[in-house]
Amino acid sequence: MRVLIGIGGGIAAYKVCEIISTLFKAEIEVKVILTTGGEQFITPLTVSTLSRHPAYTDRDFWQPIHHRPLHIELGEWADLLLIAPLTANTLAKLAYGLADNLLTNTVLASTCPILLAPAMNTEMWNQAAVQRNWQLLSQDSRYHAAGPAIGLLACDRVGMGRMAEPEEILPYIHSLLHTHGKLDLVGKNLLISTGGTREFFDPVRFIGNPATGKMGLALAQAAVHRGAQVTLVHGTLPDVQIDRRVNLIPVINSEDMHHKMLAHFPNADIVLMSAAVADVKPAQYSDRKLPKKLLPTELKLAPVPDIIAALGKIKQPHQKLIGFAAQTGDIIAPALEKLERKQLDAIVANPVDLPESGFGSDRNQAVILKPNGERIDILPCAKLEMAHQILDRIY
């Protein structure tokens, strides 16, 4: 996998160093084009050291040709082109197909997906001309956008125009390398549940589980990157930056999740029930913290709503309902039983008793099972990669 990064002239250029380093550690080959403005903020030595490749500048572009033209070579080499920070000047050139430097010539000489990470002052971003240029690029399926975000800018203003953080850009890069930029979920509404629920028996004590919500969050990221409208009904979630295009619906317990899933279900084309919902709850709840001496020695339990079974009963022919089964030991037999009993279109069975799998891990593995007997094995991989493999195979 090969990523070409074009660095524009802005203070946010320093963030790109982390992106280059992280991609290299993930064994993704990186080459960098430094614009004349970009060189004012970081040096060719910095990016060449991080990428283990020479940094390309406009001086290289205008040198005598020894082999093929540099912009042709770089354009054909790249699987993905990231432009970060994207300045108002470069945005305007891209919108109108202008090419007066190495970066813009390489854009026109390439066919790969292009990820844009704009960064500029709020007043600059809000200018009618800038917004017009941005809308022009948004109509071109080659271009994908990470940000901009609202935050503290270099001019000391708080507003729109801050470059997306590396933790938002890096997953997008991995998504585009997997999909090659296809937007196969445009026009689709995805409803995803994730995280663990907490069933309280007093204001500070609850029955719960180790679910972190990472798998559902990866599904939401992957779906948004493929063009879907995503609603994420979540219990626990990791403390990370989440794409602002994801509609977040927080819940606490299984009853909350049941109501929210039913409310949003009619508008959903695909439902992915990856939440670790409690199976039972305390039969009684105290609205005051129980003193330690009054804690029950036996906790009476009551059932909670079976959310996915309820959705299965009202599912329409155009809707797909995908379940998840976190298991220890034999993961297949319980998942097959759940697949049939709950009228699912597919179920994703994953082990939680193997290294780097299940709750809290950044990696996972699974088996997708379908009613027609089809079985698809997903080998150990990052959860975002697993999310894409699930989305590839649920049709």
Short-list 235, 262, 238, 239, CA closest to 249: 235
How much is the average pLDDT of 364-378? 93
Domains of the chain: 2-179 (3.40.50.1950), 189-393 (3.40.50.10300)
pLDDT-derived band at 65 (thresholds 50, 70, 90) equals low
Predicted confidence at residue 270, as pLDDT, reads: 96
- Range with the poorest average pLDDT among 146-160, 179-193, 222-236, 250-264: 146-160
Predicted confidence at residue 66, as pLDDT, reads: 63
Predicted confidence at residue 36, as pLDDT, reads: 93
- Range with the poorest average pLDDT among 115-119, 258-262, 293-297: 293-297
Alpha-carbon distance values, 282 to 153, 203, 210, 253 (Å): 49, 12, 18, 12
Predicted confidence at residue 159, as pLDDT, reads: 77
Predicted confidence at residue 147, as pLDDT, reads: 82
pTM for this model (two decimals)? 0.90
Identify which has the larger pLDDT, 296 or 53: 53
pLDDT-derived band at 2 (thresholds 50, 70, 90) equals very high
Predicted confidence at residue 151, as pLDDT, reads: 78
- Range with the poorest average pLDDT among 94-103, 168-177, 276-285: 276-285
Evaluate if residue 64 carries a pLDDT over 80: no
Please state, in angstroms and rounded to a whole number, the distance separating the CA atoms of residues 391 and 395: 8
How much is the average pLDDT of 321-349? 91
What residues are labeled active site? 155
How much is the average pLDDT of 181-187? 94
Please state, in angstroms and rounded to a whole number, the distance separating the CA atoms of residues 236 and 253: 10
Contact between residue 250 and residue 213 where contact means Cβ atoms under 8 Å apart: no
